[in-house]
């Protein structure tokens, strides 16, 4: 699978952190020896940015990296600096939060996405539903069009010729009971959710109100299996997002996803429910 700039930055970050730790250097000591700021080195090791080639070479010299590893990381750094096809989708001059750019890159490289959502996930939104939602959120027309293009492009994960990402989604019943746009917008969106369940790489289930309030508490999240890179959890609300790492934290999200999955309707029951709901509008 082609790796995006975000995934490449994570790989570079992992290698740099491992090299420094094997050398027994603190972040401050390594930064001083390589003549970079401590904050810059921290960003490199967190995957928030990639170093320039000359900075990477300085770090490699400090760490005593092998010639083969130096060459590999230089290649990765060059690739990470290139603008991919997603960059143009945002549009020139359109302000797009960095978390969204990062998430799109990670999403595209995931082996498995486990989604729990109180709303219709973007990956399953029809263009009309997505546009109505974006307008309601108060975005300016240019941003609405840019994000709509991005939403449609992201949906290649579902139907593209190289759709290798598995998607397991649990969607709260409130998502299909909440009126968005006119009747036809919601009607078509609900039927699109049912159609998504017929895709070979998708399993979508509805968490009914009858499951009770406890299971639906806490808000939505996405678990990203990024094998061979470490997994992540992603949370977003009100244009504020957080990526969560660490096995102890991720295990909590896995347990919660297992709980809502167990309480959700099965795929066939979900489709029956969605068709009935669409007919009732």
| Domains annotated on the chain, with CATH | 5-80 (1.10.260.40), 86-280 (3.30.870)
HSE-CB at 140 with a 13 A cutoff on CA atoms is 6
> What are the tokens at 171?
């969607």
Whole-angstrom Cα distance, residue 248 to residue 203?
26
96 close to 151: Cβ distance less than 8 angstroms: no
pLDDT band at 1 (very low <50, low <70, confident <90, very high): very low
Q: Which has the closest alpha carbon to 263: 190, 207, 188?
A: 207
- Tens-digit pLDDT profile for residues 81-93: 654 445 555 555 5
Phi, psi for residue 172 in degrees, rounded to 5: -65, 145
CA–CA separation, 36 vs 32, rounded Å? Answer: 6
pLDDT of residue 74: 85
Q: Beta 221-225 vs 232-237: how paired, if at all?
A: antiparallel
Q: Tens digit of pLDDT for each residue in 99-131?
A: 887 788 788 878 899 999 999 999 999 999 999
Q: What is the mean pLDDT of the chain?
A: 86
């Amino acid at each position: 699978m082609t790796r995006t700039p975000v995934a490449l930055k994570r790989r570079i970050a992992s290698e740099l952190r491992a090299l420094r730790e094997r050398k027994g250097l603190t972040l401050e000591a390594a930064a001083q020896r390589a003549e970079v700021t401590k904050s810059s080195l921290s960003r490199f090791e967190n995957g928030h940015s990639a170093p320039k080639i000359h900075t990477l070479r300085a770090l490699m010299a400090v760490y005593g990296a092998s010639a083969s590893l130096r060459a590999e990381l230089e290649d990765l750094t060059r690739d990470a600096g290139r603008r991919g096809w997603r960059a143009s989708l945002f549009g020139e001059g359109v302000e797009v939060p960095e978390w969204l750019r990062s998430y799109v890159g990670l999403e595209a490289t995931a082996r498995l996405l486990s989604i729990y959502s109180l709303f219709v996930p973007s990956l399953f939104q029809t263009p009309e539903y997505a546009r109505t939602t974006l307008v309601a959120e108060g975005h300016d027309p240019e941003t609405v069009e840019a994000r709509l293009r991005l939403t449609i492009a992201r949906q290649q994960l579902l139907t593209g010729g190289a759709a290798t990402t598995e998607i397991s989604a649990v969607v709260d019943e409130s998502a299909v009971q909440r009126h968005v746009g006119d009747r036809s917008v919601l009607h078509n969106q609900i039927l699109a959710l049912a159609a998504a369940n017929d895709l070979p790489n998708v399993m979508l289930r509805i968490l009914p109100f009858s499951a009770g309030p406890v299971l639906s508490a806490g808000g939505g999240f996405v678990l990203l299996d990024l094998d061979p890179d470490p997994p992540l959890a992603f949370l977003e609300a009100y244009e504020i997002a957080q990526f969560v790492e660490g096995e102890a934290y991720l295990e909590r999200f896995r347990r919660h996803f297992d709980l809502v999955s167990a309480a959700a309707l099965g795929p066939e029951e979900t489709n029956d429910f969605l068709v009935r709901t669409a007919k009732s509008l």
